[in-house]
Chain A
Amino acid sequence: MNSRIPPHLEDRIAQTPRRGLPADLRQACLAMRGSAPRPTPPVRQHAFWLQWFWPHPAAWGGLAILWCTILALHRLAPVPVNVLAATGPSTPLIKDPDSTRQLAHQRETREELLRQPLPPLDFDRPRKASPPSTNRIA
């Protein structure tokens, strides 16, 4: 049926110039390239702690403020006496010279007494048998 048609019809068709990209569409594409949003950086994976905190930021923030207040008050409060006593002998509590001298004397006396052997107590000696009392009422 197609034997009369020369085989180069295909070449003839292929040589028919196609329409190219319209100039206005090309300009629109180039403009789109210029106005394209910059590629957004990849979203970083949130740290574990951030994921944990994130659901209730106000509650966690309030808790953090409360702890900061507690720490600040703790630092500003006066130091109690028993804490000062526990700090050791390097920080003398009594600064009056007379009292200091008196205390030193007492300390020496105490050490001197501790060095001396203690006399045997009375209840260690055997008790003498006492004669029966004549005053006893028969």
Chain B
Amino acid sequence: MHPLEQILDDHGDAVFSFLLQLSRSEPDARDLFQDLWRRLVENPQLLAEARDPRAFLLHLARNQFIDLTRRRNARTRAHEASQDQPDLAGLFEPAHRPDEDAFREALDRALGQLPEDQRMVVHLKLWEGLTFDAIAVLLDLSPNTAASRYRYGVDKLRTLLRPLYDEIRTP
């Protein structure tokens, strides 16, 4: 198997999911992923120098996203941020069970209400299982900042999901 194909199999899902979490738009996530992949194809030694390929790719993905948001019109971003009920980003696989699908939909919307910096940290902590030290390196933060953003983010998710979660848990 070609080394790049191996990288796609090992890390493609994680990177795409991270981009989807950040952009909350599948077309944007696709474009960003393709741009990132093109960079890797044209410059394969980028990954050869990385100690942790997954962390390196997530770092690249985050930079790609920041570049995209800078290119975007500030007015558009303000409009998106002002939405009370953000659109579904399609972050999760459908469960084909009403309760579970409702929870996933609510989680998707709740994540959309988090500020971008908290959402990044929550994603990297919960789905990538990174330590706060690793998150701090990846996002150029101090570990304390990463930890506090995580706490704020998870508290907000708890608040937003509590009614539904209580309902699901009640037999």
Contacts and interface: CB of A to CB of B under 8 A. Distances in A.
A93 B162 CA distance: 123
A9 B164 CA distance: 12
A130 B27 CA distance: 142
Interface residues of A, number: 27
B159 interface: yes
Given A9-B157, A18-B127, 6 more contacts: A13-B157, A21-B13, A25-B16, A25-B30, A30-B5, A36-B41
Report whether over half of chain B's contact residues are helix, strand or loop; otherwise say mixed.
Answer: helix
Given A25-B16, A36-B42, A9 B37 contact: no
Contact of B37 (A14, A18, A19, A32): A32
Interface size class of B (residues with CB under 8 A): 35 or more
11 contacts: A2-B155, A12-B165, A19-B16, A19-B93, A22-B16, A25-B30, A26-B12, A28-B34, A29-B37, A32-B37, A33-B41
A99 B107 CA distance: 125
Contact of B16 (A5, A16, A20): A20
